Chain A
């Protein structure tokens, strides 16, 4: 159990700013990544062929 008195006022200030700025930054990064993924998904050409990154299909399987 952490004693709040031992943390001191500066600790509470640091905790408030770090969590809020860090959390907002993480949300912004996640949002940017999701937006980039969504854009790539909607601009990908329609195709019934497997992607180049997919492994070749084994006909014996």
Chain B
């Protein structure tokens, strides 16, 4: 019931935030209409970071405690993170063409490290399919989940460490959060979109976690030959 309320709330707030971003906020003086893409781009990027951070923390949790729910959380974070990273890249490309004059530039450190981040976590999801043994799979994935997380700060600070096409951080310190270098309606639209996407992220995480837990239980039951209906389908081993 609570998840349904969360899902409905996410749907309503995402619709409201999208309407506000598309028609409620004026177009930017320099970037024009294309600036509206920034709201969905930044919100997606922040939630991608959060997702992969959750995966790294849950991976460490699995390696220490070996609890199946830790692996389920890690999987949920990785899959949802891949979704939001792909959204970030797509929005960036749609913004880059009219503003930069190009969809993509491999020389840009932010773009390249973000593409690497996507590849790392797609790899994480692929590695999970290499074995059917749940504990072994969780351990292998946990190692990848922790190693891949090294790229998160590299992506974030790439605009500070190296020069490229991508602009520097807008919200980098507490001072810039309290005194944002952008007009109030723009900041309000960004925060509204971030809040709406956070609700959607939470709904996706909860449901992906539940699915992963059910899959784990089904796999464990099947391994013991106790899956409903499987006992009749699988012939008993000969003595």
A residues contacting B by CB (< 8 A) are: 4, 8-10, 12-13, 15-17, 19-21, 23-24, 27-28, 31-32, 34-35, 38-39, 41-42, 44-48
Contact = CB atoms under 8 A, between A and B. Distances in A.
A49 to B, nearest CB: 8
Given A42-B218, A44-B228, A24 B83 contact: yes
A31 B204 contact: yes
Nearest to B44: A20
A27 B94 CA distance: 21
Contact of A47 (B41, B215, B232): B232
Interface of B: 7, 14, 18, 22, 32-34, 36-37, 40-41, 44, 83, 86-87, 90-91, 94-95, 97-98, 200, 203-204, 207-208, 210-211, 214-215, 217-218, 221, 226, 228-229, 231-232
Nearest to B80: A27
A39 B86 CA distance: 29
B32 A9 contact: yes
A9 B44 contact: no
A39 B231 contact: no
Interface of B is mostly: helix
B90 A16 contact: yes
A23 B228 contact: no
A9 B33 contact: yes
Interface of A is mostly: helix
A48 B18 CA distance: 52
Contacts of A34: 211
B91 A38 contact: no
B203 A28 contact: yes
A35 B76 CA distance: 13
- 8 cross-chain pairs, A with B, having the tightest CB-CB distances, nearest first: A48-B232, A16-B94, A9-B33, A38-B214, A46-B228, A20-B87, A9-B34, A12-B94
Contacts of A17: 18, 22, 37, 40
Given A31-B211, A46-B229, A20 B90 contact: yes
A24 B34 contact: no
24 contacts: A8-B33, A9-B98, A13-B37, A13-B94, A21-B14, A23-B87, A24-B83, A24-B87, A24-B200, A28-B7, A28-B203, A31-B208, A34-B211, A35-B207, A35-B210, A35-B211, A38-B211, A39-B214, A42-B214, A44-B228, A46-B229, A46-B231, A47-B228, A48-B232
